[in-house]
Amino acid sequence: MRNFRLGRALAHGALVSALAVSMLSTSVNAQSVDLSKWSPEYVRSIAGTEEYDTGELCGNVTPLDYTGKLSFWYQGVFEGDPDLLRQYYKDFFEAFRATYPNIDLQEQALTYNDLLDKFRTALLGNAGPMVVRLQILGGVEFASKGYLQELSPEDVGWKTEDFWPGAMKSVMWEGKAYGIPTNNETMALIWNADIFKRAGLDPENPPATWDDVVAYSKQIHDNLGIAGYGLVARKNAGNTPYRFMPQLWGYGGGVFDETDPNPTYSEVRINSDASKAALQASYDMYVRDKSVPVSALTNQQADNQPLFLAGQVAMMISHPSDYNVMLDLQAKATGTDKEKAQTVIDNMRYGLIPTGPDGKRAVVFGGSNIHILNPEYVEGGVVDEAAAKAMVCFWTSPEWSLKMAYAGSNPGNLNGFKTKWMKERLDTIRFLDVTTSMLPYGVPFPTLPETPEIMNIIIPDMLQNALTGAMTVDEAADDAAKKISDLKGGGGL
Amino acid sequence: MTTVAGHAGLSRKHFVVQPSLLQQMWTSRADYLYVLPAIVVMLVVIAYPIYYTIDLSFFKTPPGLQLRDKIFVGVDNYTSILSSEVFWRVTLNTVIWTVASTLIAFVLGFGSALALHRDFAGRAVLRAILIIPWVISAVAASYIWKWMYHSDFGLIGAVLVQLGIVDTQPNFIDNIYSVLPSLIVVNIWREFPFAMIMMMAGLQTVPEQLLRAARVDGASAWQRFWHITLPHMAGVSTVTILLLAVANFNSFIIPWIMTGGGPSNASHIWITHIYELAFGRQRWGVAAAYSVLLFIILMSLGYFYVRALSANEKKEQGA
């Protein structure tokens, strides 16, 4: 079932954007897959065309009989992930141990919101792991401080062209690569067609613009008394920037000039008129129309999922994996709740992220990267380089970078799109087309050491200041701009 | 004690010569040896971190630099903190949090202790039930309360709506005005059993014969409480209040888990703010300066605590 107007949206998308250009133009012809042809049809056409033997490929980097020891931290599954992903994580470590039986692997999973804090603390005590897989906005901070080794795809048998140019930007610091992308994703708009219908909206057409989202949310709330849009504004949670930044960029705003083809990050734009318009849209939904959950200030996406399944939220921004999460939650429901949940699942639709008033569509180019640490920051003062490269090679291989992103993301290694598992995935994961279609609209977070603080603290603070009435929209934006300027200048509290 | 025979005509006690400090220490050398391991451990795990924190508080630690590359800024961190609007807001929150939590938990605990001091059917069961909030995990309790307070689907709000007390679900923790009082309620719920246990122990020390004699003399229940029970409870009350105050100044789990200090910093107290500065924003120097200020305040409270304990001991020795 294809309930989104994908063809029309993509036609529009073809006209769109400096954003797409910025993502694609850098090395279109050199990529392992032709990004200039990127569309659901193209993705389907290349799926299942290549076979890769991970053991053989990684055996060229680190011999399969190598004896060594490896400590590894990674951002693991959490409560908002589907069970399918848990199984793949289990399979991955079993496969690694089977391929490298003589490497003593000590892995530790941490949740998205805990990983940065714990990793920073461990590094202060020179007690880090040898290898770490971090969220996309984390790598530059640690590279700039000298914690990470230089590491490029060529070091583990791949080519730089095997990865998204935008993803490679996220591991670059002062012209050198310090990691390899494991997975990359862009989110989509999810809506409940049944709620749309009951609220008097076209059930098969999502809001085209962010202004439409505000209007639809109000109409749904006014007519049905439920939340129209699943706003998220919690502090210290990655969910907030992933949902607000597309809105900010859509309206033409930004933290800096990160949406420009060649960003310099020198000019703070968070208090520009366009940025304030984006913040005003959130204010209108939360304060003026009261059409979003009141709990948005303490909620994260994992809190929105059950609300969506209960038919209490009509629209939200999330991954393709949310469909599988809904199936998992529905399976655990009982009695009439189970039937209600099934109704919601049957009416679940995915569409492209809305555009701003000028037709600008953007989404966070998300994902994770894998890094090797410098020995002096590792517990014991030694990094087993061969074992570390074996892990990096394994995770970034076409096979496992796809399988580990099966339901919620996309393979960091573009060759993953050519595997038989991608073909299988396209047949089994609903709405995957939509989120892969969003990839060319992806905008990477600014590659600055200050980015985690800006995205996880300053942006949510700005939202909370405006939405609680602690400040006006103008004051909140100006306050955020001052904090960002102070932070960039090395000062501020 | 050494005594020396002295001048004729004066009693022997006027010629008592106090041994020097070193002599006293030598005499008690076995005692010092017994506590030496504890002293060493304290020096390593307390004294050094305190020294390091004070030292760090004079440095700036920008996000792009490692901690070892920190920049000396003198007292800039302290002046920045003291001139920051957020600092004063967080300090006010901390004072409200500490004073309200401490006093209300103490009053509730004292009241419960008085009620449970009397013998009645089911007293043991009631006492066990009242202790539950204190013994369950603070993390688990925080999550449960967070859901009970949920601004859209919370149990408390739903009950209030069902009873017709309010028309719509109240906003407890997503509102800058109600969030702190809401968290204080949770904290009091967690802490009052501790005050109750302390005060129940204290009530055992009130002489029963005095109360009986007062009753025979016609003293009312209030007079017996005011003139006999309360004076006897002064020592344990002071200690309980000080312990509660120190614990509340150091609170972290409830505000961090339930709101993370938000919304808009409205529920940040010192410890959560220090944590965010250090681990969320890597302002190790500023966080260290905050910690030093907090350390000074807590040491002052500690001084009063030790004085209260000493006063109690003297009082007991006098009795």
Give the integer Cα–Cα distance in Å for A159 and B19: 82
Residue A119 makes CB contacts below 8 A (sequence gap 6+) with A73, A110, A128, A132, A134, A138, A142
> Is residue B242 within 8 angstroms of chain A, CB to CB?
no
Residue of B61, B68, B152 best to disrupt the A interface, most CBs of A under 10 A: B152
Q: Report the CATH number that the domain containing residue A234 is assigned in CATH.
A: 3.40.190.10
Q: Identify the weakest region by mean pLDDT among A114-123, A264-273, B40-49, B305-314.
A: B305-314
Give the integer Cα–Cα distance in Å for B98 and B83: 23
pLDDT at residue A476, rounded to an integer: 97
- Listed residue (A16, A463, A458) closest to A278, CA to CA: A463
Instruction: Please tell me which residue of chain B has the smallest CA distance to A113.
Output: B280
Is A356 part of a structural domain of the chain? yes
* Residues belonging to chain A with any Cβ–Cβ distance to chain B shorter than 8 Å: 117, 120-121, 124, 141, 144-147, 227, 233-236, 293-298, 307, 312, 449-450, 452-453, 456-457, 460-461, 464-465, 467-471, 487, 490-491, 493
> Is residue B304 within 8 angstroms of chain A, CB to CB?
no
Instruction: Please tell me which residue of chain A has the smallest CA distance to B273.
Output: A493
Is A3 part of a structural domain of the chain? no
**Is pLDDT at A19 greater than 60 in this prediction?**
no
| A332-352 mean pLDDT | 88
Instruction: Please tell me which residue of chain B has the smallest CA distance to A117.
Output: B279
| A198-215 mean pLDDT | 96
Is A41 part of a structural domain of the chain? yes
> Is residue B232 within 8 angstroms of chain A, CB to CB?
no
The ipTM value here is 0.79
Out of A295, A461, A471, whose CB is closest to B150?
A295
Residues in a beta bridge with A134: A369
Q: At what angle do helices A335-346 and A321-332 cross, to 10 degrees?
A: 160
Same domain, A284 and A351: yes
Same domain, A411 and A439: yes
Question: What's the gap in Å between the CA of B62 and the closest CA on chain A?
Answer: 5
Same domain, A88 and A229: no
Average pLDDT along chain A: 88
Instruction: Please tell me which residue of chain B has the smallest CA distance to A173.
Output: B64
| B73-85 mean pLDDT | 92
Residue A144: list chain B partners with CB under 8 A: 64
Show the domain range for A271: 188-363+450-488
Q: Test B276 with A457 for CB contact under 8 angstroms.
A: yes
HEC readout, A47-62: CCCCCCCHHHHHHCCC
| A305-319 mean pLDDT | 90
> Is residue B79 within 8 angstroms of chain A, CB to CB?
no
Start-to-end Cα distance in chain B: 25
pLDDT at residue B43, rounded to an integer: 86
Same domain, A298 and A386: no
pLDDT tens per residue, range B172-181? 999 999 999 9
pLDDT at residue A80, rounded to an integer: 66
Is A314 part of a structural domain of the chain? yes
pLDDT tens per residue, range A236-252? 767 899 999 999 999 99
Same domain, A144 and A275: no
Out of B67, B175, B258, whose CB is closest to A468?
B175
pLDDT at residue A411, rounded to an integer: 93
How many domains is chain A built from? 2
Same domain, A359 and A456: yes
The torsion angle over the Cα atoms of residues A243, A244, A248 and A249, rounded to 10 degrees, is -30
Same domain, A420 and A434: yes
Q: At what angle do helices B155-162 and B138-149 cross, to 10 degrees?
A: 40
Same domain, A79 and A144: yes
B77-142+175-318, CATH topology level: MetI-like fold (1.10.3720)
Out of A293, A449, A471, whose CB is closest to B152?
A293
pLDDT tens per residue, range A147-194? 999 999 999 999 999 999 889 988 999 999 999 999 998 889 999 999
Is A7 part of a structural domain of the chain? no
Q: Identify the weakest region by mean pLDDT among A15-19, A418-422, A445-449.
A: A15-19
Is A12 part of a structural domain of the chain? no
Confidence band, pLDDT 50/70/90 cuts, at residue B14: low
Q: Test B151 with A295 for CB contact under 8 angstroms.
A: yes
Residue A490: list chain B partners with CB under 8 A: 60, 62
Question: What's the gap in Å between the CA of A449 and the closest CA on chain B?
Answer: 5
**Is pLDDT at A335 greater than 90 in this prediction?**
no
Q: Are A112 and A368 in contact (CB under 8 A)?
A: no
pLDDT at residue A126, rounded to an integer: 92
Out of B65, B151, B286, whose CB is closest to A493?
B286
User: Which of B 86-105 lie inside 8 A of A, CB atoms?
Assistant: 86-87
Same domain, A482 and A416: no
Is A5 part of a structural domain of the chain? no
